[in-house]
Amino acid sequence: MQARPYGEARLLNRPALIEYKHMRFLVSDAPSDSNLALYISEFERHCAKDVVRVCDPTYTTTPLNQLGVKVYDWPFGDGEGPPPAITRDWIDLVRARFGTDEGKTPECSIAVHCVAGLGRAPLLVVIALIEEGMTPEESIAYVRERRRGALNAKQTKYIMDYKRRKSRKSKCTIL
């Protein structure tokens, strides 16, 4: 690891890359206008084409929009589970970005952040993992291995009670 020159700016809490099958997520705490350039550098390094912020805005989105990065504002309560509309929109975004081809290596990622990057953002990633077939227990463990301290007890209960949406692959035939 190379030493950084004295005074060079860097992120105190590095984003966590969470990859599974054909999906790639970058989970972080919230940028501010003063350090947004550092986050943009991380987003570019991981080819984030989408940024989902699930907390109140702490920065202007103009620099991201100018780079062609789409920012989604889907805030919900700290320590809570997402409302059904946000869950639906999240799953739709994940499917639109990554498709359903499990054999495909993801070229880009979806960045998702909340205030500390430990609750709401990892919770959305866990939902995506469950939608891809992981059990709630597996998905929680998988995210926690990559983002220490993720998910509080209330969010863990939410995940344990979460019901996977019906797969679009299923075909029902009525005879």
Residue 100: DSSP 8-state: S
φ, ψ for residue 73, nearest 5 deg:
-100, 105
Using CA atoms, how far apart are residues 143 and 141, in angstroms rounded to an integer?
6
Among the listed residues 29, 50, 55, 114, the single catalytic one is 114
> In the block, which residue shows the tokens 């550092």?
38
Residue 112: DSSP 8-state: E
- Answer yes or no: 89 catalytic: no
Q: What residue ranges in 46-108 does DSSP mark as E strands?
A: 48-53, 70-73
CA atoms within 13 A on the CB side of 137: 0
Total count of residues recorded for the chain: 175
- Answer yes or no: 114 catalytic: yes
Among the listed residues 29, 33, 78, 101, the single catalytic one is 78
Q: Which residues are catalytic?
A: 78, 114
